[in-house]
Amino acid sequence: MPRRQAADTATTPSNRSGPGAGYFEAIVESSEDAILSKDRNLVIRSWNPAAAALYGYPAEEAIGQPISILIPEHRAGEERDILRRVLDGQRVGHYDTERLRKDGTLVAVSLSVSPISEPDGSISGASVIARDVSGRRRAADRAARLQHLTTELAKAVAPEEVVNVALREALAALNAHAGAVGLLDEGGDTIRVAGYSGYSHTSLASWETFAVKAALPMSEVVRTGTPAWVVGQEELVSRYPALAGAEIKFRSRAVVPLRADGRVFGAISLSFREARSFEPDERAFLEAIVQQAAYALDRARLHAAEQRTRQKLDFLARASELLAHSLDVETTLQQLATFVVPRLADWCAVDLLSDGEIKAVAVAHANPAKVELARELQRRHPADPDAPVAAPAVIRSGRSELHPAITEELLAAAAPDDEALEIIRGLGLVSAMVVPLRARGRTLGALTLVAAESGRRFTSDDLEVAEDLARRAGLAVENAMLYAREHRAAVTLQRSLLPRDLPRLPGLQLAARYLPAGVGADVGGDWYDTIDLADGRLHLVVGDVAGRGIRAASVMGQLRNALRAYVLDGCSPQEAVGRLNRLARTFESSEMATLVHISFDLRKREAECVRAGHPPPLIRGPNGEVTELAIQGSLPIGVSQGPCPTTTIQIEPGSLILMYTDGLVERRGEGIKPGLEKLKRALRTAPAEPEPCLDFVLHALTQTGSEDDVALLLMRVDKTADQPLELTVPAEPSALAPIRRAVEAWLADQRIDLRDGWQIVAACNEACANASEHAYAPTQAGSIEIEARKQGPRIVVTVHDHGQWRRPRGHDRGRGLTLMNYFMDRVDVERSQEGTTVRMERTVGRGNGT
């Protein structure tokens, strides 16, 4: 076998003669593999130049030495195994192991060991061919590393994660001591350090960002797109003078560009403590790693940007939804401010320009106490409209402000005074942006967003979101303002169509109200009307045109005027409503309306009533009982064909008649019934005087803003004036309520002001309560006589019982008498055998409180 022969020959250079000896010797001498031989005693006998190169020992040093000089301690047992096999005549091939160099380092080798046979067949030693396989080992190692890197990068989603993985792997690849990843900013002229390792924080602080055009390794690499390999301190300083003195503990540097789609977007830089060169395979390996990282980083950045865009759109979409929610400007803006916190900022405030003044309309913070503080601040220290910064400046200029960091100077410029400045300082504001609310080229106000607790610093990206938000808010505000204006116009129109003054007639009192629906609902077509024919008849109308808006209001105007004309023409309610019906059918669009029309004869106290599709009026009789006025109904105006029936009703003196539209009693989802019951209850306990009576009824029924407009007309039919009230009731507490009602009604007949009247009723109530409690023994039935009369400006009330007066005591503790004395100008208590008489008087119409 040639190989074996070659080995044989090579291992016995000294005693070799014969034809091929020189030839083989030349082969051995020039072999790239280390070739050596050892005898049975494991002493090195021959040693070629490649062996010298591999192990570091020249031939003269190696020959004669035991082979163990090449064997690392942890491989000591190996040699015996190999020897045993060789002495057995076997050949050992491609034995992968490690050997020790003269300098103490290990080298990976692949050994082929063959026995050296003597002519007598005995084995005298072994030849060894050793091949340096560290290159191969490294290649396998690197392949595994790249594989690992790819897996790790695939797992990393966020750009920061990718940066960390890339940095870790690049450092490990070349055993670097420190490294950094720099990324090009959006603008393209700064590089920002996105991750680093091995540098001290202080040394890096000054390198957080640096210019692309700077004379620095990373800048240069980003500019040129070619890697930089700097092998020692000297070269480093001569190529990059800016680095002189900085980080002297690192002598060598490798910087490789991050590139995707042919575009350089950053670089990875590695630093080494030792001065070292970079072999081509090392360079290629590092470049391969960086390339993998570049792809991953590019993908991650795209993904993150996409996600940010999606979040931004989602945020803006939700904000838009919110803005579309209400037509009330301040409600809308407060909702917006609350929505923005803490998504975009820790504080949000909205200021609107109103008649040339800046008005703070909304403020939000996660902590309600802080909101209160801010409101207080706004109340006590209103913004200076000439302030050079913040909302006033933005409202003036229409241009946004971005303050990535809030400085003391900025606060001082924004604060209206020193006290406010002190409070603002205490809020720990970090960063701010102020954007104009604009619509149709007009600046309506400003949206202020401030970061505090979160420590967030606003960027141009955030400003973009804020501006987008402000654009949408501006439009919403504009819409709401337009709407409010239209709403006001419609309400004004409607009011202008309603009678300004109610007639003043002897023997009856009138009160009326029109309430537009709340903001957010359209104006409706409700109306009321009174027509005094001066012939002893008064016409009362309450009606409701279906539909909303200015159109309904104008139809209402036509119907009202037509009805007036018919009435003035001498029509009865039945004739007038019949003609109205015919008129309504001539309208272009079929408008429908409902109404109640009453013609009241003042002398006869007789009401002639027509009810077309409208809820029945309520009547409170002199006894306080509330019922529906039993008017036969017909179909609504515009629908009805035949004549509408008339109902004539006798009205007792002291009655209240309440006409209303369904907006008062109808509630969405409830219908009319619960509201009607509520209305009846309210009317039962309402004051007898028309104006306070309507106030009371409205307070009871319109607790939450009505969705519909409401028209109300109330008529009170007086008792004959100047007639005293005379009343006899059982002496028991259950009589108190009817007594109050009766006295109140009588006082209303006398046209006594409610405040005077209430106090007189209250005093009378106490006198009667005393009488019912104290005058008679519990088992004794008795009665109380009440008399009230008007003597000029004075009201005199007498309460008489037939029992024995006892001093008020017990649970009442004399409060009753105190009340009487407080509410009346004079109280006399007269006791006699016949009973007790309490005489009280009060001068009315003085207009003072008590």
Partner 1 sequence: MNGGEVPRVEHETKGSTVIVRIEGDVDAANAAGVRDGISRLLTNHLMGLVLDLSRTRYLDSAGIQMLLDLSERLRSRGQDLSLYVTREQPLRLTLTLFELERAFPVVDSLEEALAKIDPAPG
CB 656 within 8 Å of CB 716: yes
> Measured from the CB of residue 511, what is the shortest distance to partner 1 in angstroms?
16
Q: Interface with partner 1 by CB under 8 A: which range of 252-260, 367-375, 473-481, 750-758?
A: 750-758
55 binds partner 1 (CB under 8 A): no
772 binds partner 1 (CB under 8 A): yes
x-marked contacts with partner 1 along 448-487 as a string, rule CB under 8 A: ----------------------------------------
Of 585 and 755, which CB lies nearer to partner 1 in the complex structure?
755
229 binds partner 1 (CB under 8 A): no
| Dist CA 195 CA 160 (whole Å) | 8
Amino acid at 543: G
Crossing angle of helices 754-774 and 736-749, rounded to 10°: 150
Q: Which of 55, 527, 758, 805 binds partner 1 (CB under 8 A)?
A: 758
Q: What is the Cα gyration radius of the chain?
A: 53
Q: Which of 613, 638, 687, 690 binds partner 1 (CB under 8 A)?
A: 687
> Measured from the CB of residue 696, what is the shortest distance to partner 1 in angstroms?
8
> Measured from the CB of residue 808, what is the shortest distance to partner 1 in angstroms?
9
Of 601 and 812, which CB lies nearer to partner 1 in the complex structure?
812
Q: Which of 89, 645, 738, 793 binds partner 1 (CB under 8 A)?
A: 738
Burial (CB count within 10 angstroms: exposed 0-12, middle 13-18, buried 19+), residue 631 = buried
- The two tokens of residue 797 are 């009330």
Q: Which residue has the tokens 């190989």?
A: 3
> Measured from the CB of residue 742, what is the shortest distance to partner 1 in angstroms?
11
643 binds partner 1 (CB under 8 A): no
Of 465 and 693, which CB lies nearer to partner 1 in the complex structure?
693
Q: Which one-letter DSSP state was computed for residue 33?
A: S
Of 290 and 735, which CB lies nearer to partner 1 in the complex structure?
735
Contacting partner 1 within 774-813 (CB under 8 A) = 811-813
| Dist CA 378 CA 384 (whole Å) | 11
Q: What residues are paired with 545 via a beta bridge?
A: 525, 593
Q: Which of 487, 719, 740, 842 binds partner 1 (CB under 8 A)?
A: 740
Task: Name the residue among 131, 123, 129, 130 with its Cα closest to residue 41.
Answer: 123
> Measured from the CB of residue 634, what is the shortest distance to partner 1 in angstroms?
35
Which residues, including other chains, have CB under 8 Å from residue 408's CB and lie 6 or more apart? none
Q: Which one-letter DSSP state was computed for residue 438?
A: E
Which residues, including other chains, have CB under 8 Å from residue 51's CB and lie 6 or more apart? 34, 35, 36, 57, 59, 62, 130
Q: Strand locations in 407-455, DSSP E? A: 431-439, 442-451
754 binds partner 1 (CB under 8 A): yes
Of 522 and 773, which CB lies nearer to partner 1 in the complex structure?
773
Of 210 and 822, which CB lies nearer to partner 1 in the complex structure?
822
Rounded to an integer, what is the distance from CA 731 to the centroid of its chain? 64
Q: What residues are paired with 637 via a beta bridge?
A: 593
Task: Name the residue among 475, 395, 384 with its Cα closest to residue 435.
Answer: 395
CB 116 within 8 Å of CB 12: yes
831 binds partner 1 (CB under 8 A): no
Q: Looking at the chain, how many residues does it have? A: 850
848 binds partner 1 (CB under 8 A): no
> Measured from the CB of residue 710, what is the shortest distance to partner 1 in angstroms?
18
Q: Which of 354, 818, 828, 846 binds partner 1 (CB under 8 A)?
A: 818
815 binds partner 1 (CB under 8 A): yes
735 binds partner 1 (CB under 8 A): yes
Pairing status of strand 431-439 against strand 647-650: unpaired
773 binds partner 1 (CB under 8 A): yes
> Measured from the CB of residue 734, what is the shortest distance to partner 1 in angstroms?
3
Q: What residues are paired with 210 via a beta bridge?
A: 191
Q: With contacts defined by CB under 8 A, how many residues of the chain interact with partner 1?
A: 41
Q: Which of 227, 474, 617, 816 binds partner 1 (CB under 8 A)?
A: 816
> Measured from the CB of residue 792, what is the shortest distance to partner 1 in angstroms?
24
> Measured from the CB of residue 733, what is the shortest distance to partner 1 in angstroms?
4
Of 11 and 836, which CB lies nearer to partner 1 in the complex structure?
836
Which residues, including other chains, have CB under 8 Å from residue 1's CB and lie 6 or more apart? none
Of 432 and 819, which CB lies nearer to partner 1 in the complex structure?
819
Q: Which of 220, 526, 749, 766 binds partner 1 (CB under 8 A)?
A: 766
| Dist CA 341 CA 547 (whole Å) | 40
| Dist CA 67 CA 78 (whole Å) | 12
Which residues, including other chains, have CB under 8 Å from residue 480's CB and lie 6 or more apart? 326, 327, 328, 329, 332
> Measured from the CB of residue 718, what is the shortest distance to partner 1 in angstroms?
21
667 binds partner 1 (CB under 8 A): no
Of 424 and 817, which CB lies nearer to partner 1 in the complex structure?
817
Burial (CB count within 10 angstroms: exposed 0-12, middle 13-18, buried 19+), residue 597 = buried
Q: Interface with partner 1 by CB under 8 A: which range of 179-187, 328-336, 495-503, 724-732?
A: 724-732
Which residues, including other chains, have CB under 8 Å from residue 320's CB and lie 6 or more apart? 472
822 binds partner 1 (CB under 8 A): yes
Q: What angle do CA 745, 746, 747 make, to 5 degrees?
A: 90
Secondary structure, 3-state, 587-608: CCCCCCEEEEEEEEECCCCEEE
* Stretch (H or E) spanning 786: strand 783-791
Q: Which of 108, 264, 762, 796 binds partner 1 (CB under 8 A)?
A: 762
x-marked contacts with partner 1 along 691-720 as a string, rule CB under 8 A: ----xx--xx--------------------
CB 349 within 8 Å of CB 391: yes
638 binds partner 1 (CB under 8 A): no
Amino acid at 393: A
Pairing status of strand 633-634 against strand 401-403: unpaired
825 binds partner 1 (CB under 8 A): no
> Measured from the CB of residue 770, what is the shortest distance to partner 1 in angstroms?
9
Of 69 and 736, which CB lies nearer to partner 1 in the complex structure?
736
> Measured from the CB of residue 764, what is the shortest distance to partner 1 in angstroms?
10
Q: Which of 736, 787, 802, 825 binds partner 1 (CB under 8 A)?
A: 736
* Stretch (H or E) spanning 161: helix 159-173
849 binds partner 1 (CB under 8 A): yes
Amino acid at 141: D
Q: Which of 437, 769, 840, 844 binds partner 1 (CB under 8 A)?
A: 769
Pairing status of strand 123-132 against strand 106-117: antiparallel
Q: Which residue has the tokens 């039919």?
A: 717
Q: Which of 450, 626, 823, 836 binds partner 1 (CB under 8 A)?
A: 823
Of 62 and 729, which CB lies nearer to partner 1 in the complex structure?
729
Q: Interface with partner 1 by CB under 8 A: which range of 148-156, 423-431, 506-514, 762-770?
A: 762-770
Of 576 and 731, which CB lies nearer to partner 1 in the complex structure?
731
Cβ neighbour number for residue 60 with a 10 Å cutoff: 9
Task: Supply the DSSP string of 630-670, one letter for each residue.
Answer: -PPEEPPBTT--SPPP-EEEE--TT-EEEEE-GGGT-BTTT
> Measured from the CB of residue 844, what is the shortest distance to partner 1 in angstroms?
14
> Measured from the CB of residue 362, what is the shortest distance to partner 1 in angstroms?
19
733 binds partner 1 (CB under 8 A): yes
Binding site for partner 1 (CB under 8 A): 681-682, 685-687, 695-696, 699-700, 729-730, 732-738, 740, 754-755, 758-759, 761-762, 765-766, 769, 772-773, 811-813, 815-816, 818-819, 822-823, 849-850
